[in-house]
Amino acid sequence: MRISPEVEIALSLAANEAARRRHEYFTLEHLLYALLFDEGTAQVVRHAGGDPASIKKELEGFLTDQLESVPEEAYTTPTASLGVQRAIRRALTHVQSKLKGIGRRTPIQVRIDDPQRVSKVRVELVQGTEVKTVKEQDMTPRSAWAFGSVPPLDMTVDVGRETVQGLRSGEATVRVTAEPRRIASQKLENLTCCL
C-alpha cells in the first residue's frame, strides 16, 4: 500500500529535522514537530484545545535538550525509531481495515412498471448537495406487433457499502428519473402528390 503524499512529506520533514540536529533516529517527537507545521494538523490540535505554537516550542526544547546529537564524524542518516515504525504500521492497518468494505457491492432493485412509456432511466445517489449518477439506461420499446402486455422492467443497481450505510441513516437517498418516450406525430396537412 502506498503512503499518501502528505504523510510522505511529514516523514521526510521529520527525518530532515533529525538530520539537522544530527540525531541517530527520527522519533515520534520529530514527527509531531514536523506535523505541527501543517495547517490541517494545527487546526486539529487547536480544535482539541491545544496550542500548536506552545507545543512546537516544548518539542523544540525536548529535541535540543533531551536527545543526544551524534558526533559529526560518526553521523549517518537517521532512521525511523521503533515508535515511528509502529505508528506507521498501525496507521496502515487502520486504513486497510477501512478499505475492506470499499469495493463490496450491494444491489438495489429499481422497477419500471410501464417500460413502453419510458425512453431513459437514470438512477442517482443524492448525499447532501452531491449527486452521483450510478446507472443510466436507454429503454428500447417492444415492437408494436408484439402481443400481450409489456411486463415491468426490473433493474439492479449496485452501490458500495458506505452508500448503503448512508441510505440506512437517512444521509443519502436514491433518486430515479424516467424520461418519457416522445412519440413522433405525423402532420399530413400540406401533403401534395404528383401523379
pLDDT digit string, tens, across residues 160-193: 666 666 666 667 777 778 788 765 544 444 434 3
Separation CA 106–CA 99 (nearest Å): 16
Q: Is the pLDDT of residue 99 over 70?
A: no
What sign results for the dihedral spanned by CA atoms 98, 99, 101, 107? positive
- Write down the domain spans for the chain: 5-99, 105-180
Better pLDDT: 51 or 6: 51
- Does the reported pTM lie above 0.75? no
**pLDDT band for position 194 (cuts 50, 70, 90):** very low
Architecture of domain 5-99: Orthogonal Bundle (1.10)
Q: Which three cell numbers stand for residue 73?
A: 564524524
Q: What's the rounded Cα separation, in Å, for the pair 70 and 194?
A: 106
* In contact, 30 and 63? CB cutoff 8 Å: yes
Eight-state DSSP code of residue 72: G
pLDDT at 81 over 50: yes
User: Mean pLDDT across the chain, nearest whole number?
Assistant: 78
For residue 133, give the amino acid letter.
T
Rounded mean pLDDT of 73-92?
A: 88
